[in-house]
Homo-oligomer: A and B are copies of this chain.
């Protein structure tokens, strides 16, 4: 039946876009309003608004209303799920066997 934790779909899908990764990076520094974020990119206000929707659905950020502005707030805890997913592979990429595999690739 493939997978129980459909939540990962949204998290990884969010992270697959460079603008969204950049938004995360910036709001990890400090909370920014949507307008402030828009200034950083060469796309429309609406486009950024949509990106933030994607991130919000994935629970990677939430919105905090403040007057007529909305601040985007990182929810770093959600990234734990992605980390937990990768965890199961960590021993593999750290193993000597994997390093051998890499050598074989390069040796082709």
Q: Which residue of B lies closest to A82 (CB)?
A: B86
Count identical subunits in the complex: 2
Q: Count of chain A residues with Cβ under 8 Å from any Cβ of B?
A: 41
* A interface: dominant SS: helix
Q: Is residue A46 within 8 Å, beta carbon to beta carbon, of the partner chain?
A: no
Q: Which residue of B lies closest to A83 (CB)?
A: B86
What 7 pairs between A and B have smallest CB-CB spacing? A12-B16, A76-B92, A76-B93, A13-B16, A12-B15, A3-B18, A2-B18
Contact residues of A with B, CB < 8 Å? 2-3, 6, 8-9, 12-13, 15-19, 21-22, 24-25, 28, 41, 62, 73-80, 82-83, 85-86, 88-90, 92-93, 95, 98, 101-102, 105
